[in-house]
Amino acid sequence: MRMRLTRRPAWYGLRAGVAAVLMLGTGGLAAAASAAASPAASGGKHCSTSITEDNFGTANSGPYGGDQTVKRYTMTNSNCMRVRVFTYGATVQSITVPAKHGQMVNVVLGFNTLSDYVNLASPPPTSPDFGGPYFGETIGRYANRIGGASFMLDGTKYTLPVNNGPNTLHGGFVGWGNRVWQDPTTSSTSNSVSVTMTLVSPNGDEGSGLLPNTKVYEANCSIPSAPPTTCTGFPAQVTTKVTYTLDNGNRLSIHYSAHNDDPTLPTVINLTNHSYFNLAGEDSGPAYGQEVLINGSAITPTDANLIPTGEIASVTGTPFDFQTFHTIGARIGDATATLGNQLVLAHGYDHNWVLNSTGPTFAGLRLAAKALDPAGKRSLTVWTDEPGVQFYSGNFLDGHLVGISGHTYRQTAGYTFETQHFPDSPNKSNFPSTVLKAGDTFNSTTIFAFSF
């Protein structure tokens, strides 16, 4: 099913306080941004648009460069909205927005120190904390899962580290969230500030053995409890730039540009940001009561290992139907409903929605999702050019992680909108292709637009 614009969608105009940002076309969004930029919207505060840098510490990129200094950048817009990102993992640490009465609220989950990111965000299998939450990281070379930790490309089988059941998750043992990104550069205008950082991913990234002119990567491509294996890693050298831009319309834009540097080898690419949102504040507890809308009429159901079966299943009449606003918690336990078994397999929502090709657009991007905190009247709108969005309800947050404000994170403390291509696309010919040909460049943009 696809939404058609012969009439307004059923969810159009819901929640009068946020309806303006659902207007069709860029004109409506410009008006909404102007309203959001008013002094009243930021509690009467005015700030200077600025970007500052500080030293966030030292982290080890392992075989990709050893100990390196990590830079942190604080971007502030004229409404006093503030975003902090740092070069370890090209990570979003915090997104702090003003409330109507002047207080500042951080609306993404994260850690206070760099050591917590290194040791807890996505540690390798040798760590007792293996299987971290990936808070705020830039995920690559392949976001989400690749089934069986392998894929065929141009007649060659490529094998990858096994770090999630029998699968590869979020790039492997040392994904891009565990690397120190290089050459950060900043830019400022009267309306926005930005920072760009770069990562070179070698041919054979995440493979085992000694590669030409490199150090040893993974000596073993299996978790320590399994028999040792070797793997090829991802083919082709890829140079990727990620640019974070904060503007005075309270929009955080993330632009990815990934170039395949190899003259002959193709590769696969799938990039996303893994921020967890809680619009009531990262320290406010469960987000079950927050309302979500997803501009997708289908999902890609998974097997028991959370690998898509290849089916495109309608969400109509199921707990996965967020085509109108529903609270996250309203149907998350409905195991007997159609597709309810999917909630059991994933312990909640952890699925890829197939985004509709119709609906509201902004700057050439389609509407992916929207979230609303009814109590605070704070909202988030997600725009993207990606074909899918992984909505994850924080199912494996179990209380052992202490967040940036000193509070523990438990299930549904936050949720993600991971805009991306579909999971396991290299092994599913009916999914949009993730192949990046030799010499080609992949470009993608996602915007997180806030109102408060």
* Residues with catalytic roles: 274, 418
Q: Is the peptide bond before 366 cis (omega within 30 degrees of 0)?
A: no
Report the first-to-last Cα separation within the chain, whole angstroms: 33
Contacts of 313 (CB under 8 A, 6+ apart): 298, 299, 300, 301, 339
Residues forming a β-bridge with 105: 97
How far is the C-alpha of 259 from the C-alpha of 207, rounded, in Å? 20
Residues forming a β-bridge with 68: 59
How far is the C-alpha of 37 from the C-alpha of 300, rounded, in Å? 38
How far is the C-alpha of 321 from the C-alpha of 295, rounded, in Å? 10
Q: Work out the burial of residue 249: count CB atoms within 10 Å of its CB; fewer than 13 is exposed, 13-18 middle, 19 or more buried.
A: buried
How far is the C-alpha of 420 from the C-alpha of 382, rounded, in Å? 12
Contact assessment for residue 384 and residue 368, using Cβ atoms and an 8 Å cutoff: yes
